[in-house]
Amino acid sequence: MKRVSPPEAETARIDFAQPLDAAAPRLRCAFGVPRQVLVAQQVGEVRAVLDAVHAAAQQGHWCVGYVRYEAAPAFDTALQTYTADGPLAWFAVHDAPQPWPAEEPQETARVVWNSGLERSAFDAALGRIQQAIGAGELYQVNYTGPLTGALQGSAAALFAALQRAQPGGYAAHIGAGGEQVLSVSPELFFDWQDAPGGGDILARPMKGTAARGATPEEDAAQATQLRTAPKERAENVMIVDLLRNDLSRIAQPNSVQVPRLFHTEPLPTVWQMTSDVRARTRAGVRLADVFGALFPCGSVTGAPKVRAMQMIRRLEPGPRGVYCGAVGVVRPGGPAAAGGLYPVAATFNVPIRTVVLRTGETDSGTAVRVTCGIGSGITVDSNCQGEWNEWRHKRAFVERASESFDLLETLALIEGKFDHADLHLARMGEAAAHFGLPWNLHAVRQELQIAALQCHVGAWRVRLLLSVDGSARAETFAMHPTPTPVHLQLAGEPLREAAGEFCRYKTTRRAHYDAFAPSQPGVFDTVLYNEAGEITECTRGNVAMRLEGRWVTPPLACGLLPGVGRALALRSGRLEEAVVCLEDVPRVQAWAFVNSLRGWLDAKLVIPVV
């Protein structure tokens, strides 16, 4: 173990729930330059660092840091991992926390991501895991892969964006030597409150995932399906049983309990299922003993843990690092006892939804490299497409944070009056709630009133924008009639983001739409479809098709924006919802482009199905 003199720049922030005491406020605080830094570079040093952290908390200090996934052999030599690419354990020791900064960073951050794991490699790995399960070697493996990219902007701004994308939970920003850890994990590893006669400990493994629904009804159905699906319940129970066994190593006899099972939690982009496992720890248990019993968390290994980690070592391309290890805070947990020592309280997350930054040299100069791990639990009932979709749903949090955006509504202003303003504002308010942005309806209406006063004659296109800070602005542009029929072309490939939130909500992040901009002169817009071959929408509005004598438009479940013009046409009975697939296109009798700005535009499809 090394005690390192910290450089002046070392800082940290934590924003943690305290689940053992539901009435307690969140641990939301910052830390300046630490008094010392405790580092374990070798497996044999990890326990010594944890013992030193425990002792520092007993003396009244606060310790913030992490334990890498590759530290596992420090607690059991049978747990196989790659060689670590950084310190196995790193903790900064502080005299006391400081208030959370009153102002958020004003700068912005953008991450340019490279492509992650290829689908063919993903399918092959799942096949090998299921062969091993079928042979009786194990029950479950948590298989993961890395995303890599480059940061443009500041780490502080990226952390703020990550917290907006994944609020609540157990968030930490730790500057640790040559790397920065930005964790916004929703998963609790353990919350432990020690006491002289024995402590209380809670583990809350997160196992089971479902995408959020496109409508409130579909969202509720997704939660119910997650909670009742045999595959998801079996996956959750396996890990609960593993955690019960792990906790029994440090628990008082007959104290391990499961007070809550199969609880579904709504996160911004996914539903997650958690269960609670609680116990009374024996007197004299120390932090290193807790890690020795539990680390790594079974939710990120599989079961049995030893065999699952052997397969992870064989299939994954390199070390996981801080991802799937533990990030947390160890602190005094109450008044000092008669001997002057404080009881120890420790809260650690399982660092999923975690980004790690490293600065290095490239051919073009200094760059900040970004890594983020994504994974899922593989069981005998898993299928490749379902798990691949789960990975995409889980990475949505980092995609949301990777680039700044505004919420957007486009309204028609005709002779000083807006068309359907209330419907547009209701939709923007729903988007603000979804993305966690401040929403002041009165202030937003004032921006529209100013635009109406300035452009009270003629026809205008008004772009109403809502920023991350809740401020609104309106941009006005002269609008001219659109000759009909307009010409539409069919996309040459599916829109893979059709199930994502940037299709369900209207924002300025439109790269996925812009990639399908019309390529032929005279083409007004492109008709899109999802990976299942279902027609969804156009890039700037919804689409209507006449089939068998009735006008239909795709349902929201296909992956599309709930346009105001579409909603009005459905309400009036002019449109009905129906799934239309690519093979149905030759039978379409007529086409129309629909949005609230242009209204109903008769259309012709000029590019046939290839």
Residue 95 has pLDDT above 70, yes or no: yes
Euclidean distance between CA atoms 164 and 481, whole angstroms: 40
Report the CATH number that the domain containing residue 471 is assigned in CATH.
Answer: 3.30.470.10
User: To which residue do tokens 């402590």 refer?
Assistant: 199
Rounded mean pLDDT, 74-93: 96
- Assign 364 a pLDDT band (cuts: 50, 70, 90): low
Strands (E), 47-169: 62-67, 89-94, 98-99, 109-113, 140-153
Cα–Cα distance measured from residue 537 to residue 488, given in angstroms and rounded to the nearest whole number: 11
Please identify which of the residues 45, 179, 187, 232 carries the catalytic annotation. 187
Query: Is residue 384 in a domain?
Result: yes
Q: Are residues 304 and 438 in the same domain?
A: no
pLDDT on residue 393:
85
- Considering 401, 434, 454, which residue would you say is the last residue of a domain? 401
Confidence (pTM): 0.88
- What's the CATH number where 566 sits? 3.20.10.10
Q: How far apart are CA 188 and CA 191, in angstroms?
A: 7
**pLDDT tens profile 300-318:** 999 999 999 999 999 999 9
Quick one: pLDDT at residue 8? 44
- On whether both 354 and 287 belong to a single domain, the answer is yes
Most trustworthy range by pLDDT among 102-111, 261-270, 329-338, 538-547: 538-547
Q: What is the mean pLDDT of residues 552-579?
A: 96
Average pLDDT (365-378) is: 89
Cβ(3)–Cβ(49) below 8 Å: no
Q: Is position 375 within any domain? A: yes
**Residue 609 confidence (pLDDT) above 50:** no
Per-residue model confidence (pLDDT) at position 217:
84
Contacts of 385 (CB under 8 A, 6+ apart): none
Number of domains observed in the structure of the chain: 3
Looking at residue 24, what DSSP letter applies? S
Q: Are residues 277 and 131 in the same domain?
A: yes
- C-alpha to C-alpha distance for 263 and 14, rounded to whole angstroms: 25
Using an 8 Å Cβ cutoff, are 246 and 295 in contact?
no
* Domain match, 229 and 268 both: yes
pLDDT number for residue 610: 41
The pLDDT of 92-117, averaged and rounded, is 87
Q: 179, 207, 497, 537: which one is catalytic?
A: 207
Across all residues in the chain, what is the average pLDDT? Answer: 92
Known catalytic membership, residue 187: yes
Ramachandran region of residue 340, left (φ > 0), alpha (ψ -120 to 50) or beta? left
Q: Does residue 457 share a domain with residue 519?
A: no
**According to the model, what pLDDT value does residue 9 have?**
45
Q: Which CATH number goes with the domain that contains 257?
A: 3.60.120.10
> Largest Cα–Cα distance of the chain, in whole Å?
86
How much is the pLDDT for 569?
Answer: 97
Q: What value, to the nearest 5°, has the Cα angle with vertex 464 and ends 462 and 466?
A: 170
Residue keyed to tokens 């044999």: 44
Among 478, 513, 538, identify where a domain stops.
478
| Structure confidence at residue 558 (pLDDT) | 93
Q: Would you state the pLDDT for residue 362?
A: 59
Look at residue 16 and tell me if it is in a domain.
Answer: yes
Contact 40, 89 (CB under 8 A): yes
pLDDT score for 365 = 62
Rounded to 5°, the CA angle 101-106-111 comes to: 110
Tell me whether residue 117 is in a domain. Answer: yes
Q: How would DSSP label each residue in 343-355?
A: PEEEEEE---SEE
Please tell me whether residues 441 and 354 are part of one structural domain.
no
Q: What is the mean pLDDT of residues 569-588?
A: 97
Please check the confidence at residue 608 and state whether its pLDDT lies above 90: no
Do 48 and 73 lie in one domain? The reply is yes
Whether 368 and 417 share a structural domain: no
| pLDDT at residue number 211 | 85
Whole-number pLDDT of residue 69? 98
pLDDT of residue 242: 94
Residue-range definition of the domain harbouring residue 473: 407-478
| DSSP label of 309 | H
Residue 610 falls inside a structural domain: no
Percentage of residues in the chain having pLDDT higher than 70: 97
Residues 303, 444, single domain; the answer is: no
Catalytic residue status for 506: no
Planar angle of CA 239, 132, 125, nearest 5 degrees:
90
Domain co-membership, 448 together with 525: no
Q: Which residues pair with 175 in a beta bridge?
A: 180
Q: What is the pLDDT of residues 178-229, one digit of tens each?
A: 899 999 999 999 999 999 889 999 999 999 888 888 778 888 999 999 999 9
Residue 468 lies in a domain: yes
Q: Which of 300, 291, 312, 318 is nearest to 84 (CA)?
A: 318
Q: Domain ends where: 379, 401, 423?
A: 401
For residue 49, the model assigns a pLDDT of 98
486 touches 601 (CB < 8 A): yes
How far apart (Å, rounded) are the C-alpha atoms in residues 149 and 343? 42
Is the pLDDT score of 353 beyond 80?
yes
Residue 607 is predicted with a pLDDT of 63
Q: How many CA atoms within 13 Å lie on the side-chain side of 82?
A: 15
Q: Are the CB atoms for 353 and 397 separated by under 8 Å? A: yes
CB atoms within 10 A of CB 448: 20
Residues 258 and 314 in one domain: yes
Share of the chain above pLDDT 90, in %: 79
Confidence of residue 10 (pLDDT cuts 50, 70, 90): low
Q: Is residue 411 located within the same domain as residue 396?
A: no
